[in-house]
Amino acid sequence: MKARITTIGLSLLALGISGCSSLGGYQPDKTYRITILHTNDHHGRFWKNGDGEYGMAARKTLIDGIRAEVKAQGGYSLLLDGGDVNTGVPESDLQDAEPDFKGMNKLGYDAMAVGNHEFDKPLAVLQKQQRWIDFPMLAANVYKDGRRLFRPYQIFNLGGVKVAVMGLTTDDTWKLVSPDNVKGVEFRQPATEAAALMPELKARANIVIAATHMGHYTNGAHGVNAAGDVEMARAVKGFDLIVGGHSQNPVCMQAENVRNDAYVPGQPCAPDRQNGAWIVQAHEWGKYVGRADFEYRNGELRLLKYQLLPVNLKQTVKRADGSSQKVPYTAEIAENPDMLGFLKPYQDKGQAALSVEVGSSDGKLNGDRSEVRKQPTSLGVFTAMAMMKKARADFAVVNSGGIRDSLPAGRISYKDVLKVFPFGSTLTFIDFSGKDALDYLAAAAKMSAGAGAFAQFAGVQLRIENGEVKQASIGGQAIDPTRTYRMAINSFMAAGGDGYPRLAGKPGFVDTGFVDADMLKAYISAQSPIRSNQFEPGDSVIRR
């Protein structure tokens, strides 16, 4: 049963309504069944992948079935998303995620958190996306010109039980997107905003949920990232459930403050629990739909069961003859034909623009998220070399968070290129002294493994110990502090993105205007057929 939305005007919020007069409505001694469904970090995956995994058509079949089951049992459901609908698949990126947002409408989402990737394009695009949907984007801590840019929360009436859903966005967003897209926008600390709103929500609702895009960091160990859901739950009492996103994990706990990072689809999943709040996250890309079944009675909320439901995820198994095949972890979910028919024109339109071949490689160039953010990889070197070549630079530095996928062995299409560089950053360079180059390399060396800021390099040889540069050379020669060197980086880093020193506007800085994907496309064509072993990082950068 889909919840009826009770609209809250911002003018009412400004009054700071208190007291319990708006509560009530639920019947004493009656047990209410409430199911919360959730996803996060969709990143443009409206269509299934080449193995038939995930996709919004199968997701609709799954969600419709759950809703029908809950309704038949007299229960109520809400469908929430933890943000980052944008960016990741070229068919979506080229269409401003129109199939994704309009597909969410058809799936019946009730609310979503605003993710940092919602700001990957100018605010005008985000405003267009808001017009495409009939559910709210929520973010209590995002301000522009001193006023909230989004609705801070929404209250739902589930048969008399009032459920408040507050949205919160990582305060790292300002450094994760192009500064031009967030001029005048302020990302305040989520915990501070949540604490300020909590008394108001407690006065207006029986249950308080946060839909967040902040990340789940085990036992609050967030490193260089802004504090996430665990830290907020510990700091702010009053949440019943936190539906998260951003760190792109299945949040399944083995024990208190011990997450199962080797979670296998179909296994039981126990959500995190901090300061009275359940914390959940459904990995990424619509791979799972999270399902939390609650019971509410006389003011008490009890979690009956929690599941991560795989959406046609598959494993590789060996046949008797030694060959392998992909088989589903759990029962296969049929695609909803109406949703499939709605999405197919978008997929066809995107495919037509992206299918052109730009080159080939004799092996995979590795840009997998799990590796490129922790260690030097072949695609890290390859992209940095492409930047060096185009800018005629001595060396290049690339933030690994800007590398979003690998380049495959064999035929490489324009689509493959855009999967690597989907953001539309431009190539920039700066001519500066060897001393300034050393200072920049020192800043890059401090970026923690696992973060999007983690640096990939070309043209330099580094020995890094505990985040400090102990030895550095450029082109095999010791760096001369008085000599001039040219460094190539992307416009995101040049503007101070990911916490790098801001270089835009400084003497010697040039923004070439060349879009990174087009630059990479040209380099692939020039290098083809690519000999992938030539771009293995070797021991150029050693970290201890």
307 carries an active-site annotation: no
β-strand partners of 166 = 153, 210
131 carries an active-site annotation: no
Strand pairing report for 161-169 and 207-213: parallel
**Torsions phi, psi for 59 (to 5 deg):** -60, -40
Distance between CA 198 and CA 190 in Å, rounded?
12
404 carries an active-site annotation: yes
Which of 216, 246, 283, 486 is flagged as catalytic? 246
CA 445 → CA 226, 309, 405, distances in Å? 19, 39, 23
336 carries an active-site annotation: no
**What is the helix (H) or strand (E) element at residue 441, kind and residue range?**
helix 434-445
Which of 38, 222, 259, 373 is flagged as catalytic? 373
Distance between CA 83 and CA 212 in Å, rounded?
7
Closest CA to 99 of 340, 419, 343: 343
Which of 33, 151, 222, 404 is flagged as catalytic? 404
Distance between CA 418 and CA 413 in Å, rounded?
9
Put the strands of the sheet holding 541-543 in their side by side order: 477-478, 468-474, 460-465, 541-543
Half-sphere exposure of 513 (CA within 13 A, CB side): 0
319 carries an active-site annotation: no
Distance between CA 175 and CA 424 in Å, rounded?
16
What's the distance, Cα to Cα, between the start and end of the chain in Å? 55
Which of 38, 40, 81, 84 is flagged as catalytic? 84
Assess contact for 506 and 495: CB atoms under 8 A.
Answer: no
Residue 281 burial (10 A CB sphere; 0-12, 13-18, 19+): buried
Q: What is the DSSP string of 351-394?
A: HHHH--EEEEESS-B---HHHHTTS--HHHHHHHHHHHHHHT-S
Which of 38, 59, 213, 486 is flagged as catalytic? 213
Which of 41, 81, 110, 516 is flagged as catalytic? 41
416 carries an active-site annotation: no
Report which DSSP code applies to 445.
Answer: H
213 carries an active-site annotation: yes
Distance between CA 6 and CA 267 in Å, rounded?
37
Q: Please, which residues have CB within 8 angstroms of residue 80's CB and are 6 or more apart in sequence?
A: 36, 37, 38, 109, 110, 111, 112, 113, 165, 209, 211, 243
Which of 40, 86, 225, 248 is flagged as catalytic? 248
Residue 78 amino acid letter: L
373 carries an active-site annotation: yes
544 carries an active-site annotation: no
Which of 369, 511, 518, 543 is flagged as catalytic? 369
43 carries an active-site annotation: yes
Distance between CA 459 and CA 381 in Å, rounded?
9
41 carries an active-site annotation: yes
Which of 100, 120, 293, 416 is flagged as catalytic? 120
116 carries an active-site annotation: yes
Which of 42, 59, 67, 117 is flagged as catalytic? 117
Which of 86, 116, 249, 399 is flagged as catalytic? 116
Closest CA to 541 of 447, 452, 404: 447
Assess contact for 294 and 33: CB atoms under 8 A.
Answer: yes
Which of 33, 38, 43, 204 is flagged as catalytic? 43
Q: Please, which residues have CB within 8 angstroms of residue 517's CB and are 6 or more apart in sequence?
A: 417, 418, 420, 421, 422, 424
- Catalytic residue numbers, as ranges: 41, 43, 84, 116-117, 120, 213, 246, 248, 369, 373, 404
